[in-house]
Amino acid sequence: MNKENKILNEASNNVIIKNATVVTLGADNRVLYKHSIVVENGVVTEITPDEKLHLPGEGDDFLGESGEKNTEVIDAGGKVVMPGFINAHMHFYSSFACGLTKANPSLNFQQILKNLWWRLDKKLLLEDTYYSALVAIITAIKKGTTTIIDHHASPSFSGLRGSLSQIADAVLYSGVRANLCYELSDRDGDELSNEGIEENIWFIKRVFEKTKNDPHSAEAKYLRAMFGLHASFTITTKTLEKAIGQLREVDPSSEIGFHVHTAEDISDQNVTEHLYGSRVVNRLHDLRMLGSNTICAHAIHLSDEEMELIKKTNTMVVHNPQSNMNNAVGVADVFKMIQKGILVGLGTDAMTVNMLEELRSGIWVHRITQKNPNVGFVELTEALIKNNPQIANRFWKGQKLGEISCGAQADIIIFDYNPSTELTSNNFYGHLVFGLSQAAVDTTIVAGKVLMRNKKILHLDVEEISKEAQKFSKHLWDRF
């Protein structure tokens, strides 16, 4: 497949969306009826009532040098227009597990890892990695997710080196934003562990150089990097010390953080205490791995002391309720963490790329476990629409993701939703959870590039990609 990204190289990123019900989100969420949004060079430059909108004529502001229109005008038809969603913890590589029937039944989390995920990720080849990312991103675009923080694993000599490059190709080809890392682990031996460190370092250098030396490039705009770790119980202290030593040689100012599964199952705590005499978060803290650019995914089995360390270091937590229910590992106490002032976001852990499905599931599981129908609604909704943008903005500094405001990045979605009841800033959460969650996304725009319009992805041959994905997934299943 030709991976050249025509959407990034050729398509205009000047857009006008008119006749919209604009939900701005951000610190001061507003609902603006009959408004227009003007986007220039991928950035929102104006939000104005429709009657004050000046549409470009056939002059220089509308036609490029080739005579092609360089401003796309979209009539929203009164539908809801809002910022694209952000997924704060994802695994693209798990896409090809859908429909797989070869895994043995599992009675606990350790068996799930050994019977399914650690068998699957070892069999991934580079092209599998590319297509598993691409098909997940296509679905994300359809569901209005515009930024994804991913965590990859493919621990074999034919699938590891270059795997992040494959995912980056899929990201740039598709036109979404993504923060990528490779999952370091000692479970497959020293040589692959060293390869995992090198893959992280190589990709971090690549993104660093592009972001600093060519800030207007596609890579600088769409890609970010973290250092990936599987979990405390699969990584020795020697490997962790080597990883942080090599990272700080590249990044002495500690701009790059870690992305690590943290106390997802009680076994992580039990093994860590047995082998290292420490609880998981205490161990990460002692090794100087916590901080404002580090993500602790799951964070279910934590003590109050561990939560305090996360708060003290300004470390982020990402809650993944559907995955936690599916694996029967428990439910994170996000309410206590939020009360302590921890930034808690929402991820899908590859159970879905539909952030509104994840939001609803999170609300219901907390209500049933606490036997209280009044909990979760505000906390989980704000994890998605307030906290996830804060998380993303720690990586895309100064780019203002997750809101529609002048100077913000034009990552915008249009829902096929004309509410039958009044929609205001005061009741928007209710519309999001009970109304918009049942509506289809009509249009998806990232950095001013229209990726999907009228529910049709414009720049990707979805049918051809699906055929290729089925071919590669079949070969993967044959090797499983």
Tokens of 313: 């270091």
Is the model's pLDDT at 14 over the cut of 70?
A: yes
Distance of alpha carbon 202 from alpha carbon 407, whole angstroms: 32
How many CB atoms lie under 10 A from the CB of residue 214? 11
Determine the average pLDDT of the residues in 379-393. Answer: 98
Is the model's pLDDT at 66 over the cut of 50?
A: no
Residue 472 lies in a domain: no
Determine the average pLDDT of the residues in 418-439. Answer: 97
CATH number at 285 reads 3.20.20.140
Is the model's pLDDT at 248 over the cut of 70?
A: yes
Distance of alpha carbon 251 from alpha carbon 278, whole angstroms: 27
Residue 479 lies in a domain: no
How many CB atoms lie under 10 A from the CB of residue 58? 8
Residue 476 lies in a domain: no
In this prediction, residue 57 carries a pLDDT of 61
* Average pLDDT for the chain: 95
In this prediction, residue 69 carries a pLDDT of 59
Percent of the chain's residues with pLDDT above 70: 95
Claim to verify: residue 96 and residue 220 sit in the same structural domain: yes
In this prediction, residue 65 carries a pLDDT of 44
Q: Cβ(264)–Cβ(298) under 8 Å?
A: yes
**Angle between helix 163-174 and 190-213 (nearest 10):** 40
Q: Cβ(401)–Cβ(411) under 8 Å?
A: yes
How many CB atoms lie under 10 A from the CB of residue 291? 17
Residue 475 lies in a domain: no
**Which residues, including other chains, have CB under 8 Å from residue 69's CB and lie 6 or more apart?**
12, 62, 63
Claim to verify: residue 98 and residue 46 sit in the same structural domain: no
Q: Is 475 exposed, middle or buried (0-12, 13-18, 19+ CB in 10 A)?
A: middle
Determine the average pLDDT of the residues in 149-164. Answer: 97
Determine the average pLDDT of the residues in 343-363. Answer: 98
Claim to verify: residue 178 and residue 77 sit in the same structural domain: no
pLDDT tier at 1, thresholds 50, 70, 90: low
Residue by residue, DSSP assigns 457-476 as ESSS-HHHHHHHHHHHHHHH
CATH number at 19 reads 2.30.40.10
Is the model's pLDDT at 48 over the cut of 60?
A: yes
Is the model's pLDDT at 60 over the cut of 50?
A: no
Claim to verify: residue 407 and residue 391 sit in the same structural domain: no
**Angle between helix 126-143 and 163-174 (nearest 10):** 30
Claim to verify: residue 290 and residue 273 sit in the same structural domain: yes
pLDDT tier at 8, thresholds 50, 70, 90: low
Determine the average pLDDT of the residues in 361-374. Answer: 97
In this prediction, residue 5 carries a pLDDT of 61
Claim to verify: residue 39 and residue 178 sit in the same structural domain: no
Q: Is 23 left (phi over 0), alpha (psi -120 to 50) or beta?
A: beta
Residue 465 lies in a domain: no
In this prediction, residue 32 carries a pLDDT of 98
Quote the distance between the C-alpha of residue 390 and its chain's center: 13
Q: Which of 395, 415, 443 is the last residue before a domain boundary? A: 395
**Angle between helix 126-143 and 462-479 (nearest 10):** 130
pLDDT tens for 184-206 read 999 999 999 999 999 999 999 99
Distance of alpha carbon 132 from alpha carbon 169, whole angstroms: 12
pLDDT tier at 392, thresholds 50, 70, 90: very high
- Listed in sequence order, the DSSP H helices in 175-225 are 190-213, 218-222
Is the model's pLDDT at 259 over the cut of 70?
A: yes
In this prediction, residue 148 carries a pLDDT of 98
Determine the average pLDDT of the residues in 380-397. Answer: 98
Residue 466 lies in a domain: no
Q: Which of 351, 377, 395 is the last residue before a domain boundary? A: 395
Is the model's pLDDT at 59 over the cut of 50?
A: no
Claim to verify: residue 289 and residue 359 sit in the same structural domain: yes
Distance of alpha carbon 121 from alpha carbon 118, whole angstroms: 5
Number of domains in the chain: 2
Determine the average pLDDT of the residues in 41-59. Answer: 87
Of 376, 355, 352, nearest to 365 by C-alpha is 376
Claim to verify: residue 238 and residue 164 sit in the same structural domain: yes
Determine the average pLDDT of the residues in 91-114. Answer: 96
In this prediction, residue 51 carries a pLDDT of 96
Claim to verify: residue 390 and residue 420 sit in the same structural domain: no
Percent of the chain's residues with pLDDT above 90: 91
Q: Which of 379, 395, 411 is the last residue before a domain boundary? A: 395
Rg of the chain, C-alpha, whole Å: 22
Is the model's pLDDT at 64 over the cut of 90?
A: no
Mark 444-465 as b/e (b = at least 16 C-beta within 10 Å). bbbbbbbbbeeeebbbbeeeeb
pLDDT tier at 55, thresholds 50, 70, 90: confident
In this prediction, residue 4 carries a pLDDT of 59
Tokens of 342: 């921890």
Which pTM does this prediction carry? 0.96
Between the alpha carbon of residue 118 and those of residues 56, 79, 480, the distances in Å are 55, 44, 10
In this prediction, residue 430 carries a pLDDT of 98
Tokens of 392: 């993303």
Determine the average pLDDT of the residues in 384-403. Answer: 97
| SS3 assignment, position 289 | coil
**Angle between helix 190-213 and 237-250 (nearest 10):** 20
pLDDT tens for 395-415 read 999 899 999 999 999 999 999
Residue 462 lies in a domain: no
Is the model's pLDDT at 63 over the cut of 50?
A: no
Tell me the residue range of the domain where 47 lies: 6-83+400-455
Claim to verify: residue 167 and residue 226 sit in the same structural domain: yes
